[in-house]
Chain A
Amino acid sequence: TQLLEQSPQFLSIQEGENLTVYCNSSSVFSSLQWYRQEPGEGPVLLVTVVTGGEVKKLKRLTFQFGDARKDSSLHITAAQPGDTGLYLCAVISYSGAGSYQLTFGKGTKLSVIP
């Protein structure tokens, strides 16, 4: 069973439309991170949410952490072609020896058509 389920897997929309992608789990997390990955590059951190119910805004992107800290959503307003990419959510889990590791969902691949 996947720790993090992201939906939808694929999304193709027209420029100017709004969209929401989701990251869900049955586990409770202390924090959750969102990354965006463009073709041929590594993921880039967008935001970290840590408090249940927290909402963070990054220009046209709005991130929300669920009240129970089991899920998160990313809403994009007036999507632009530059928003095209793979959106990944990730959580920190304890891996032993005092260390933690980042576990990723499989991502939502977004295409914004001009």
Chain B
Amino acid sequence: DAGITQSPRHKVTETGTPVTLRCHQTENHRYMYWYRQDPGHGLRLIHYSYGVKDTDKGEVSDGYSVSRSKTEDFLLTLESATSSQTSVYFCAISENSGGGYTFGSGTRLTVV
């Protein structure tokens, strides 16, 4: 019954391979976000979306791209994964841009 789900929950991939993480919501919220969380850095915004096909870069967007073709889905793609992209990735949604966020349970990505 979760309003936001991320898949996969865990992934191990090799350096140089493409990886896509999926975020799916059932709340019909307009805003969706991708964050990464790393020790010593906290949560940092990668990309966000303010509507279907409307996306913008966050603080740490290099090496990542996103797509949002439907309200409910927000995809994060690592075109060519590097070891520095080993992290826990969180998707979040919000009904309006100034309100509280609801986070997914995260995807733990390891690039070897």
Interface residues of A (CB under 8 A from B): 31, 33, 40-45, 48, 88, 92, 95-107
Sorted nearest first, the 3 A-B pairs with minimum C-beta distance are: A42-B103, A106-B42, A45-B100
Q: What is B's interface to A at a CB cutoff of 8 Å?
A: 31, 33, 40-45, 48, 50, 56, 58, 90, 92, 97-106
Q: Is the CB of B56 within 8 A of A99?
A: yes
Question: Helix, strand, loop or mixed for chain A's interface?
Answer: strand
Q: Which residues of B contact A33 (CB under 8 A)?
A: 100
- Closest chain-A Cβ to B28's Cβ sits at a distance in Å of 18
Task: Give chain A nearest CB distance to B98 CB in angstroms.
Answer: 5
Do the beta carbons of A96 and B102 come within 8 Å of each other? no
Whether A41 pairs with B105 at a CB distance below 8 angstroms is yes
Report whether over half of chain B's contact residues are helix, strand or loop; otherwise say mixed: strand
Query: In the complex, what distance in Å separates the CA atom of A34 from the CA atom of B111?
Result: 31
CB atoms of B41 and A106 under 8 A apart = yes
B56–A106 CB distance below 8 A: no
* Cα A43 to Cα B101 with chains together (Å): 9
- Bound CA–CA A42/B25 (angstroms): 15
Contacting pair B45 A96 (CB below 8 A): no
Which A residues touch B101, using CB under 8 A? Answer: 43, 45, 102
Smallest CB–CB gap between A84 and chain B, Å? 18
Tell which of B43, B48, B104 touches A104, judged by Cβ atoms closer than 8 Å: B43
Select one of B31, B40, B100 contacting A106, CB under 8 A. Answer: B40
Query: Within the complex, what minimum Cβ distance (angstroms) separates A82 from chain B?
Result: 19
Q: How far does the Cβ of A69 sit from chain B's closest Cβ, in whole Å?
A: 15
Q: If the complex has contacts A48-B100, A107-B42, are A95 and B105 also in contact, measured as CB distance less than 8 A?
A: no
What are 11 sample pairs from A and B whose C-beta atoms fall under 8 A apart?
A31-B98, A42-B90, A42-B104, A43-B101, A45-B100, A92-B97, A95-B48, A96-B56, A100-B97, A106-B42, A107-B42
